Amino acid sequence: MTLTMNPAIDIASSTGQVRPTDKMRCAAPRFDPGGGGINVARTVAALGEPVRAVFPVGGPSGALLAELVRDAGVPARTVEVAGATRESLAITDTSCGAQYRFVFPGPRLTAPEQHRCLAAVERAAQGARFVVASGSLPPGVAVDFYQQLAELLTDLGIRLILDTSGAPLRAVRGGVHLVKPSVRELAEYAGHPLPDRAAQLAAARALIAAGVSEIVVLSLGAEGALAITAAGAEYFAPIPVTVRSGIGAGDAMVGGISVGLLRDYALSDAVRLGIAAATAALGTQGTGPGHPARIAELFSAAAPVR
């Protein structure tokens, strides 16, 4: 099961040149369901594993989001909220290829609405082994929301995989099985730059020593990834790829790791599947997951460097 507290409709289009004042005529827009947990669920579904996506929806944009998620082949459990679901806008300037991304805060969720989200998780997670919570928290949501979720899931005996950053990550004290910060996010968490491998490992180990998470998968962008547990650390080389869309590499990675853990792979193999899924997503136009056959091919290429 995945949880996306701040989902969005991702609108993508292009124009000749981005400039101020003038109306910029854009190509016909593409609408994709968006938000961390929804993207993770799309990867899990593409890899053929059962998944449910839980997320709040509000207004006409919320109804459209629910439809887009179902069209993507992901079973959804929506929680009705009063505020309208947000939209995100990505415009590519075709004169130079630069992509401009505009992201809104999302609707304010009331305390009862947040409570209903947790109640929906409790119902939708029945029979699940893993819950993936991914993305930012919309306005009004308690900063320790993911800590509340971790405690609920601990009581239910379900493992939490968390991908978030900033204040919502800092508010997590424990109960997480695996956390996947990017190096930028972990540096923000640590409060200082992480210029080299030693600094990166020390920051990840501090998270584990503090009891926040059992496993840290630190994604290093074009430099690959590190998997750190109390028992040790392993480096994973990236797979060279021509990047068609940088959107959602991390989400695809979390989806691949989750599928690996669901299949009882060793952690290193789960991370390899995550890297394969991320690489396939980078090579795919738009925000969707890569093709399963491509992910399988990349999986065999993603061997760890020892």
Is 155 considered catalytic here? no
Smaller CB separation from ligand ATP, 219 or 258: 219
Task: Confirm or reject binding of residue 109 to ligand ATP (CB under 6 A).
Answer: no
Listed in sequence order, the DSSP H helices in the chain are: 36-46, 59-71, 111-124, 145-156, 166-170, 183-190, 197-209, 249-262, 267-282, 292-301
For ligand ATP, the closer of residues 99 and 110 by Cβ is 99
Q: Are 178 and 184 in contact (CB under 8 A)?
A: no
| Cβ-based burial of 17 (10 A; exposed 0-12, middle 13-18, buried ≥19) | exposed
Does 219 participate in binding ligand ATP (rule CB under 6 A)?
A: yes
- The binder of 304, among ligand ATP, Mg ion, none, by C-beta within 5 to 8 A per type, is none
Figure out which of the listed residues 98, 222, 296, 303 binds ligand ATP, where binding follows CB under 6 A: 222
Q: Is residue 282 near ligand ATP by the rule CB under 6 A?
A: yes
Among the residue ranges 59-67, 97-105, 217-225, 262-270, the one whose residues contact ligand ATP (CB under 6 A): 217-225
Task: Show the CA angle centred on residue 75, arms to residues 121 and 169, nearest 5°.
Answer: 40
Quickly list DSSP for 225-264: EEEEETTEEEEE-------S--TTHHHHHHHHHHHHHHTT
Q: Which stretch binds ligand ATP (CB under 6 A): 66-74, 86-94, 112-120, 235-243?
A: 235-243
Site map 165..194 versus ligand ATP, x via CB under 6 A: -----------------x-xx---------
Q: What are phi and psi of 99, to 5 degrees?
A: -110, 125
CB of 132 closer than 8 Å to CB of 163: yes
Report the C-alpha gap between 179 and 212 in whole angstroms. 9
Which positions from 50 through 89 interact with ligand ATP, judged by CB under 6 A? none
Residues in touch with Mg ion (CB under 5 A): 250
Active site residues: 251
The contact set with ligand ATP (CB under 6 A) reads 182, 184-185, 219-222, 224-225, 238, 241, 243, 249-250, 253, 275, 278-279, 282
